[in-house]
Amino acid sequence: MNIVVFVFLCFILKVESKVLGYDPKKETCGVFGNFHISYCEIRYDLVSAWRKNSIWWTPEQTLNMTLAELKEPCDNSFVCKENSGCFQDFVNFQYLDECIDDMFELGPMELCEQKLREVMKKKPDEVADCVKKHFENKDPEKFDCVSIKEKGECFLPDVEKHCDKSFLKVYKEHQDLRLFNRACDGRLRYKDWDYKGSQDVAIQSVPGGIKVADPKRNSTGELNSSESSYFSFVLLGFIFNWLFYH
């Protein structure tokens, strides 16, 4: 009966995609490719969600982690979907970036921000204004290349000055990886991207050659809004399986 539940979950995931009006899979993806992607989502994305929840509760566990250790669940999901031959490359890289950034923000960056907040209370002049603005929630999280670059550069001096010395390397590696995965600086060119202007049009008049805008940059935004719903369906499927077939 396990296969019945698996098929049921795959069907729900496909329906969820249609409801959103956006499918991260290639149009040429066949039946086996669809099952492969569903397998990746059920096996690896659940592990990532579990790890994020664990880090959210106890960020201290990430204190001595390298970036490679922190992002391992995200990498596993990325590789699995890439091996399916069906997942769109630019979407897969954006998912990878979001997954790694969640692990980073919930874990070691949260510990660093706690220290920065303590410094702000005692010596507010020692923290950059842009960091204060971020903490005041006047600067919401954004995923475009310029925002990623500006936030990284904003926090860097205070991270170097006030946070754990071992964290600085992780911080720099994470920032560099974000710009790479988002194809912000020309090092990465997505396999399935429309190169007729969209990939390179915005590398102009910005220090460091960072893109100003991209037509597909926020293509996963609407899809991400249903992440909690998606995981709820998957968890319900496992509960259903446990209750009726054990």
Q: What is the pLDDT of residue 22?
A: 45
Task: Return the minimum-mean-pLDDT range out of 90-99, 145-154, 236-245.
Answer: 236-245
Indicate whether 40 pLDDT > 50. Answer: yes
As a whole number, mean pLDDT of residues 28-42 equals 87
- Supply the pTM of this predicted model: 0.73
pLDDT of 153-206, one tens digit each? 999 999 999 999 999 999 999 999 999 999 888 888 888 765 555 444 444 434
C-alpha–C-alpha distance, residues 74 and 43, integer Å:
12
Residue recorded with tokens 């249609």: 18
As a whole number, mean pLDDT of residues 3-17 equals 46
Indicate whether 93 pLDDT > 50. Answer: yes
pLDDT of 58-67, one tens digit each? 999 999 999 9
Spans of all domains in the chain: 2-21+29-245
Give bridge partners of residue 25 from the DSSP assignment: 87
Indicate whether 16 pLDDT > 50. Answer: no
- CB-CB contact of 24 with 17 (8 Å): yes
- pLDDT, greater one: 13 or 52: 52
pLDDT of 113-147, one tens digit each? 999 999 999 998 999 999 998 888 765 666 778 88
Mean per-residue pLDDT over the chain, rounded: 76
Of 139, 152, 217, the C-alpha closest to 178 is 152
C-alpha–C-alpha distance, residues 196 and 193, integer Å:
9
Helix or strand run (H / E) with residue 174: helix 165-181
As a whole number, mean pLDDT of residues 20-36 equals 74
pLDDT of 218-238, one tens digit each? 444 333 434 444 444 445 445
C-alpha distances in Å from residue 48, one per residue of 144, 168, 171, 197: 23, 24, 20, 35
User: Which sign, positive or negative, has the C-alpha torsion 195, 199, 201, 203?
Assistant: negative
Of 117, 105, 127, 116, the C-alpha closest to 174 is 105
Q: What is the pLDDT of residue 142?
A: 67
